[in-house]
Amino acid sequence: MFSGIGSLFELIASDVLSLGQSVVQIIGDLLNSGTFGGGGGGTVPPGQYPLG
């Protein structure tokens, strides 16, 4: 019983992590195109998102 619950939690955790990474990439793309792309003077190249 516990092993079943544990594997279920692992499945959910990995799904949440991959979903979170996708969301971060989408937000980063939006920030890059909105802030750095049009404004100029952005120090972060496309595809590289500062953490924090």
- Local confidence band at 47 (pLDDT 50, 70, 90 cut-offs): low
- Local confidence band at 40 (pLDDT 50, 70, 90 cut-offs): very low
User: What is the reported pLDDT for 29?
Assistant: 80
SS3 at position 52: coil
| In contact, 49 and 28? CB cutoff 8 Å | yes
- Local confidence band at 17 (pLDDT 50, 70, 90 cut-offs): confident
User: What is the reported pLDDT for 21?
Assistant: 85
Distances (CA, A) of 11 to 7, 24, 30, 40, 48: 6, 20, 29, 42, 28
- The phi and psi torsions of 16 (rounded to 5 degrees) equal -65, -40
User: What is the reported pLDDT for 35?
Assistant: 55
Query: What is d(CA 4, CA 26) in angstroms, rounded to the nearest whole number?
Result: 33
User: What is the reported pLDDT for 39?
Assistant: 46
